[in-house]
Amino acid sequence: MTLEEIRGQENSMANTDRVQSAGAALEELLVAAKKQEYLTVGVYESAKVMNVDPDSVAFCVLATDEEYECDIALQIHFTLIQAFCFDNDINVVRVNDIERLADLVGADGTGEPKDAHCILVTVNVKIQATGKDSLVPLLLKLYGLE
C-alpha cells in the first residue's frame, strides 16, 4: 500500500465523519426550529416567505430523491429558489433523503404529509439582533463555527 492510498483512506474516513456530523447538526437544527415554529415547509410556502421577508430566512434545505430527479417542474423550482437564495445571501443545503426529512418535519394539521422538498429555517430578526435566539448556536454548529 502506498502513502497516497493510506492518505486517501484517512481522508475518506474524515470526510465520512464530517458528513455524518453535518447531518446530525442539520437534524438537530430542524428539530429545534420545528419546536419553536421557525420552519416553513413546502416549495410554494417557502417561495411566499422568501418573497415577503427574505431577511427572516436563515437557511434553506432542498431535498430530492431518485423518484423526483426527473420532475422538470420541481427542478425549475429548485433552480429559481437557489438563485433567489444566492441573491439574498441565504445558505442552501441539498439533501437526498426526502423521506427522513419528511419524518423530521412531520405532517400538517390534517394528518397529510407535508411537501418536504423545500424547507426554510426562519428567525425572528429582532430576537436575532439581540442574540437571544436559541437557533443561532445550532446554525453556528451546522456551519462548523462553534
Identify the domain containing residue 39 by its residue range: 3-143
Instruction: Please tell me the pTM assigned to this model.
Output: 0.71
* DSSP three-state, residue 65: coil
What residues pair up with 40 in beta bridges, in sequence order? 120
pLDDT over 80 (residue 107): no
Residue-level pLDDT at 105:
83
Residue that is written with C-alpha cell 436559541 in the block: 134
- Which amino acid, residue 20? Q
Q: What CA–CA distance (Å, rounded) separates 133 from 129?
A: 9
Given the DSSP bridges, would you call strands 39-41 and 91-95 parallel, antiparallel or unpaired? unpaired
The predicted-structure confidence for 4-63, as pLDDT tens digits, reads as follows 555 555 555 555 565 567 778 888 888 888 888 889 999 899 999 999 999 889 889 998
Q: What cell was used for 113?
A: 404529509
- Are 27 and 104 contacting, i.e. CB atoms less than 8 angstroms apart? yes
Who has greater pLDDT, 111 or 56? Answer: 56
Rg (alpha carbons) of the chain, rounded to whole number: 17
Domain count, the chain: 1
CATH number (domain holding residue 50): 3.30.1330.30
Q: Left, alpha or beta for 2 (phi > 0: left; psi -120 to 50: alpha)?
A: beta
Q: What CA–CA distance (Å, rounded) separates 138 from 112?
A: 28
- Are 56 and 122 contacting, i.e. CB atoms less than 8 angstroms apart? yes
